[in-house]
Each structure stands twice: as structure tokens, then as C-alpha cells.
Amino acid sequence: MTPALRQRKQQSIQSVVNVAVHLYNTGEWDAYCDSITKLLGMAEAFNELDDDLFNYAMDCVNALSQFTLQNTVTDFNTWAATHAGEAVRVGA
């Protein structure tokens, strides 16, 4: 996979994370969960094809899942500043 294609795929993953956070913030729970499911599908597509993209997608799934389970911070970027890697934050 070329570096340019890998970057586009990573941006696609980040776009799904951005949408998921927006859906969470607007209370659209089912659609938010669908976004996490989509990220899982993206991770599966990259499994054994590109380890970096697979790991990135799974890091995003894990970050969103952990954010969902905590209930003290309502802003994802505030939470992610101390709990998730830089690349997982919205817009990173």
C-alpha cells in the first residue's frame, strides 16, 4: 500500500470517529453504535493487510468504547487528552 493510500484510509477512519463523536453529542445512540460497528468492519478489512491501519482502527474503537463507559466527562476531546493517543482525538 502506498503512503498516500494509507493516509487516505487513515483519514477515512478518522472521519468515522468524527461522525461518531458528533452522533454521541447529539444523543443519536443507535447511529453512534453503528459508527463503532463500522470502525470494527474497517479494522477487519485491514487485518492481515496493513497492521498500522488495523491497529489505528482498533485504537479508535477502544477509545470510543472506553469514553462511552465512563460518565464523568461529556466532551470526547477533553477525555481523550488524558486517556487516548493523539491520533485518536477528533480532527487529529
pLDDT, one tens digit per residue, over 70-83 is 766 667 777 676 66
Does residue 47 lie within any of the structural domains? yes
Does residue 8 lie within any of the structural domains? yes
pTM higher than the cut 0.85: no
Does residue 52 lie within any of the structural domains? yes
Cβ contacts of residue 71 below 8 Å, gap of 6+? none
Does residue 22 lie within any of the structural domains? yes
Does residue 58 lie within any of the structural domains? yes
**Domain span at 12:** 3-71
Does residue 92 lie within any of the structural domains? no
Does residue 18 lie within any of the structural domains? yes
Cβ contacts of residue 67 below 8 Å, gap of 6+? 24, 73, 76, 79, 80, 83, 84
The pLDDT tens digits for 8-55 are 999 999 999 999 999 998 999 999 999 999 999 999 999 999 999 999
